[in-house]
Amino acid sequence: MIYNNHLKMGYREALHREKKVISSLNSKDFRDFIKSLDESSYRVGTIPPGFEHRADRIANLFYDTPELDWLICWTNNISDPFQQLNVGDRIRILK
């Protein structure tokens, strides 16, 4: 099965447990995109009640899609949104 990601980036094929896996992670396009995040402009926001631990809701609010929840986490160095992203935390939102 080919994974059709919403980013429309390149992909990389790899074998995992003798099965072919296709992913955008580690593709050149993805690495270039992640590198460009450091140069991107952003605004700072504060997590209001009802949005804590919910990167998907924050992404939907700012980017009109919950599928960019990973971007909220990546931009803010969040490894576990269920322990992080607390009410009152300041986070970066890419413009």
Name which of 30, 91, 31 is nearest 61 in CA terms.
91
Class of domain 40-95: alpha beta
Domain ranges of the chain: 1-39, 40-95
Structure tokens at 17: 């447990």
- Residue-wise pLDDT tens digits, 48-86: 999 999 999 999 999 999 999 988 998 898 999 989 999
Q: What is the pTM of this model?
A: 0.65
- Residue-wise pLDDT tens digits, 5-39: 445 556 667 787 888 877 666 677 777 877 787 77
Q: Give 3-state DSSP helix, strand, coil % of the chain, rounded to 5.
A: 30, 20, 50
Tell me how crowded residue 73 is: count the other CB atoms within 10 A of its CB: 19
3-class SS of residue 9: coil
